[in-house]
């Protein structure tokens, strides 16, 4: 096993992070709660959360009903706040520690889905930047810039995002401080300037029944909830550099408020401005509502927001790819993600003719997997009190199978709970191209985002709680060994990890 380099060299603010999906030693955990708050504000200060507000209003709700959907959907950031505790306690990224509830091999499918989702969000984030550049250039005097402007935007957003993400966690945290402050200030100015023209009576011309209205509000909340739910496969990735003894309550409230308030604010903006005109293009739609000088600043903020979210998404997707078993360094996996995401962006920008439809379709079906996945692993973490064995979680080689191996590398109970939750989601989802039979019986109400995580968590609790609690104690020798593990050792998947002595458990 490789010997770790000095802690000062492993995660520099402007240098290449030496960790990937391996364990972060205690001596290297220099992050603060303030840093984590900046990461979340900068991450969520982008136009995705504006667009889900626009979509919620476009369903046929009035302003007030859409606002309720925005607030209720974003309440699921409580799951994200809970998930962040796992990274602090374990020192591991999400798709590594979730081997515990699903098995070493059983979690590979989740890792693939997490990577696909990350790359999809990278593409969507970049499209927001493309929209911003395409809307900005005519204001600056470059007309007929449709194709050329989009190409420039692709290059700028991808290069900035990938460059920061490749360097790693230290650079990410430093840059997100800047994004958090600047983007929030710009968005606040735009909000104050435009709120006076909001049409509070805007909405459908014909009144709906109470049941139909509630159903539409649940659909809108489901679309909004896809935002916080989408972080359930990477929330631990950024918090794992916090000292392990950081109080759980402090972690929870820091993440909840820093992540949710900016998301709610942008969703509210999306709803309110939709009452004044077409906001299907979240950048160009604002052109008629503000003076040119403010529009230029807003467009630049939109570009910055796309970069800020892409940075953390590129970073997390590289870790997900490593967890699947692809033998790449974190920075190499990030570079691969950049190439794949480029293909998706080219499709969305130059081929797809309805961006919001693409977003809606993607987000609607994401809940079917990610909600139950999150429900299972969060319940597993609560049962084991966020204690994970950093050696056994990498023990996949012959002769080194530890407590998370399961049956042929699969934890059947975790998979069963996940599939049960997904089945409930399919029964209750209302997606653009699929409506579950129970949803049809409820006037189209979408309950997948509520029931999926809860049912999966409940099933896992019933069938797996005794096994989880029995395997929760981690031998001190494994912590000491993990302190010496580096990314290279983790990539080779625990080749030197010892077989767990049952007496140690």
Q: What is the pLDDT of residue 498?
A: 41
Q: What is the pLDDT of residues 216-237, one digit of tens each?
A: 999 999 989 989 999 999 899 9
Task: Tell whether the model's pLDDT for residue 88 goes beyond 50.
Answer: yes
| Cβ neighbours of 344 (radius 10 Å) | 19
Query: 119 Cβ partners below 8 Å, 6+ apart?
Result: 317, 337, 340, 341, 344
Task: Tell whether the model's pLDDT for residue 7 goes beyond 70.
Answer: no
- pLDDT category at 359 given cuts 50, 70, 90 is low
Q: What is the pLDDT of residues 98-110, one digit of tens each?
A: 999 999 889 999 9
In this structure, what token pair is assigned to residue 460? 């896992």
Please state the domain extents for the chain: 32-103+111-351
Task: Tokens 């995002």: give the residue.
Answer: 161
Q: Environment class of residue 141 by beta-carbon count within 10 Å: exposed (0-12), middle (13-18) or buried (19+)?
A: exposed
**Secondary structure E strands in 320-402:** none
Task: Tell whether the model's pLDDT for residue 504 goes beyond 50.
Answer: no
Q: What is the pLDDT of residues 10-26, one digit of tens each?
A: 666 666 666 767 788 88
Cα–Cα distance measured from residue 105 to residue 185, given in angstroms and rounded to the nearest whole number: 45
* Nearest by Cα to 254 from 33, 31, 29, 32: 33
Predicted TM-score (pTM) of this structure: 0.88
What does residue 134 show for φ and ψ, rounded to 5 degrees?
A: -60, -35
Q: What is the pLDDT of residue 35?
A: 92
| Cβ neighbours of 47 (radius 10 Å) | 29
- Phi-psi map region of 3: left, alpha, beta (phi>0 left; psi -120 to 50 alpha): beta
Task: Tell whether the model's pLDDT for residue 67 goes beyond 50.
Answer: yes
DSSP state for residue 353 in the 8-state scheme: S
Tell me if 282 sits within 8 A of 131, measured CB to CB.
yes
Cα–Cα distance measured from residue 302 to residue 337, given in angstroms and rounded to the nearest whole number: 22
Tell me if 214 sits within 8 A of 67, measured CB to CB.
no
Which of the residue ranges 118-132, 151-165, 337-351, 448-462 has the most confident prediction, judged by mean pLDDT?
448-462
CATH class, 32-103+111-351 region:
mainly alpha
Rg (the chain; Cα; Å): 22
């Amino acid at each position: 096993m490789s010997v770790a380099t000095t802690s000062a060299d492993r995660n520099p603010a402007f240098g290449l992070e030496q960790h990937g999906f391996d364990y972060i030693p205690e001596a290297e955990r220099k992050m603060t709660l303030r840093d984590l708050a900046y990461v979340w504000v900068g991450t969520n200060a982008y136009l995705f959360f504006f667009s889900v507000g626009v979509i919620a209003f476009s369903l046929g709700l009035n302003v007030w009903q859409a606002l309720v959907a925005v607030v209720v959907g974003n309440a699921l950031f409580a799951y994200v706040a809970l998930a962040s505790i796992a990274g602090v306690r374990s020192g591991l990224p999400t798709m590594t520690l979730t081997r515990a509830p699903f098995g070493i091999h059983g979690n590979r499918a989740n890792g693939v889905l997490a990577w696909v989702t990350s790359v999809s969000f990278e593409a969507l984030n970049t499209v927001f930047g493309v929209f911003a550049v395409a809307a900005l250039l005519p204001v600056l005097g470059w007309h007929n810039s449709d194709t050329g402007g989009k190409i420039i935007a692709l290059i700028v957003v991808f290069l900035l995002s990938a460059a920061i993400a490749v360097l790693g966690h230290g650079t990410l945290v430093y840059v997100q401080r800047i994004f958090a402050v600047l983007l929030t200030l710009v968005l606040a100015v735009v909000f104050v300037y435009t709120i006076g023209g909001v049409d509070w009576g805007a909405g459908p011309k014909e009144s709906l029944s109470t049941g139909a209205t509630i159903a539409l509000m649940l659909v809108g909340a489901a679309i909004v909830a896809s935002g916080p739910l989408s972080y359930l496969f990477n929330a631990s990735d950024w918090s794992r550099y916090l000292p392990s003894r950081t109080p759980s309550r402090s972690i929870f409230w820091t993440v909840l408020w820093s992540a949710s308030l900016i998301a709610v604010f942008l969703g509210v903006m999306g709803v309110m401005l939709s009452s004044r005109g077409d906001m299907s293009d979240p950048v160009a739609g604002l052109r008629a509502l503000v003076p040119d000088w403010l529009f230029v600043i807003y467009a630049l903020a939109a570009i910055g927001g796309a970069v800020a979210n892409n940075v953390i998404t590129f970073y997390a997707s590289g870790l997900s790819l490593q967890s699947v078993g692809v033998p790449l360094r974190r920075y190499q996996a990030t570079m691969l993600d950049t190439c794949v995401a480029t293909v998706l962006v080219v499709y969305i920008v130059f081929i797809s003719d309805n961006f919001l439809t693409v977003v809606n379709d993607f987000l609607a079906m994401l809940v079917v997997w990610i909600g139950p996945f999150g429900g299972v692993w969060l319940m597993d973490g609560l049962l084991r009190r966020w204690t994970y064995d950093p050696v056994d979680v990498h023990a996949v080689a012959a002769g080194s199978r530890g407590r998370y191996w399961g049956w042929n590398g699969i934890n059947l109970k975790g998979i069963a709970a996940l599939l049960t939750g997904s089945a409930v989601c399919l029964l209750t989802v209302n997606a653009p191209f699929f409506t579950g039979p129970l949803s049809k019986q409820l006037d189209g109400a979408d309950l997948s985002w509520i029931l999926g995580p809860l049912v999966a968590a409940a099933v896992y609790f019933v069938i797996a709680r005794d096994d989880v609690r029995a395997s929760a104690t981690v031998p001190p020798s494994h912590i000491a060994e993990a302190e010496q593990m580096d990314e290279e050792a983790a990539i080779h998947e625990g080749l030197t990890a010892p077989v767990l002595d049952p007496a140690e458990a």
